[in-house]
């Protein structure tokens, strides 16, 4: 493996962030841990000084994580609390941190179970590198709605994980619009020599603010209210479906939650998973849809 490859460097960056995030640490202590790290494929005893500072700079560019040095010569993460924020950095760091941890603790692999991510994960480093360098990607994509794969260029704007799948939001010059692509349906992906200009006003978090999942970004949000039995409400409190979620009423037997969200297929399917313990109160058209679905389901069981 080439030391300069994106996947190798990505692993090194994640290892360094996690090592320093545990508390102030000296360069000697970092080198000691590096000598025993699984990501250290070449089993070197230390990280060259120029390499260490290059990694620091790249980590700040990629993850907006700043590594600083205190008066005692110890390195620490500036505003370490930001690593716990519910944003893309935290999810990306956690993903690679778990992979790194499993390598270091081989004897525990059978005791740590997590949901697998489809094959699209292998294209992550290519997309990240293209976003960093603002270069177009040549993609061969097999849509579920097309009989054969198609090849065209895309300008990647952001990455998003949803339901164990990685998606890339990208502008398609050929179609002249922004679309979302699931990486597990990508057959081939490679950088080109062409570059693109990132829209100055693009904000990934703002773009997806009103949606649940990866659709409906161009639609207007609506107020959705649901009534759910008390025990099941605990799951919504500990893992909200959407940032707009509010618990507007809490009784002994039930709770009522309000959302300001685009009621996409993905969102309504998530509500349906709760079955009979959940009742849609608003909007009326969605309540009627749920009623019709229940009537249809009931008709299947009438022998």
Instruction: Supply the pLDDT for residue 23.
Output: 82
pLDDT one-digit tens code per residue, 115-145 = 666 666 678 878 888 888 899 999 999 998 8
Residue 1 has pLDDT above 50, yes or no: no
CB 12 within 8 A of CB 96: no
Query: Dihedral of CA 103/109/112/117: which sign?
Result: positive
Beta bridge partners of 255: 228, 250
Tell me the C-alpha distance between 272 and 42, whole Å.
51
Predicted confidence band of residue 15 (pLDDT cuts 50, 70, 90): confident
Residues 88-111 have a mean pLDDT of 58
Tell me the C-alpha distance between 153 and 192, whole Å.
9
**Domains, in order of start, for the chain:** 6-111 (1.10.10), 119-203 (2.30.30.520), 222-300 (3.30.70)
* Secondary structure of 49-94 in HEC code, one letter for each residue: HHHHHHHHHHHHHHHCCCEEECCCCEEEECCHHHHHCCCHHHHHHH
Instruction: Supply the pLDDT for residue 175.
Output: 87
Instruction: Supply the pLDDT for residue 88.
Output: 46
Residue 80 has pLDDT above 70, yes or no: no
Instruction: Supply the pLDDT for residue 13.
Output: 87
Query: Dihedral of CA 218/221/227/228: which sign?
Result: positive
């Amino acid at each position: 493996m080439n030391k300069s490859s994106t996947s190798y460097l990505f692993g090194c960056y994640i290892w360094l962030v996690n090592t320093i995030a545990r508390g102030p640490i000296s360069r000697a202590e970092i080198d000691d841990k590096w000598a025993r790290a699984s990501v250290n494929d070449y089993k070197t005893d230390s990280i060259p000084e120029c390499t260490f500072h290059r990694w620091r700079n790249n980590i700040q560019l990629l993850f907006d994580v700043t590594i600083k040095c205190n008066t005692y010569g110890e390195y620490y993460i500036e505003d370490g609390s930001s690593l716990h924020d519910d944003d893309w950095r935290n999810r990306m760091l956690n993903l690679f941190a778990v992979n790194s941890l499993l390598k270091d603790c081989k004897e525990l692999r059978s005791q740590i179970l997590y949901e697998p991510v489809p094959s699209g994960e292998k294209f992550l480093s290519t997309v990240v590198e293209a976003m960093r360098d603002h270069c177009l990607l040549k993609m061969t994509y097999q849509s579920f709605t097309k009989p054969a794969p198609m090849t065209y260029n895309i300008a990647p704007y952001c990455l998003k994980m949803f339901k164990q799948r990685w998606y890339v939001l990208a502008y398609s010059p050929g179609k002249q619009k922004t679309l979302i692509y699931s990486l597990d349906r990508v057959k081939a992906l490679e950088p080109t020599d062409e570059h693109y200009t990132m829209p100055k006003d693009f904000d990934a978090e703002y773009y997806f603010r009103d949606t649940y999942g990866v659709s409906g970004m161009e639609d207007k949000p609506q107020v959705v209210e649901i009534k759910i039995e008390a025990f099941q409400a605990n799951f919504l409190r500990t893992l909200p479906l959407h940032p707009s979620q509010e618990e507007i009423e809490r009784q002994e037997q039930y709770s009522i939650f309000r959302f300001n969200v685009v009621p996409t297929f993905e969102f309504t399917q998530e509500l349906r998973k709760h079955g009979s313990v959940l009742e849609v109160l608003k909007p009326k058209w969605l309540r009627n849809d749920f009623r019709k679905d229940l009537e249809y389901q009931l008709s299947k069981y009438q022998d």
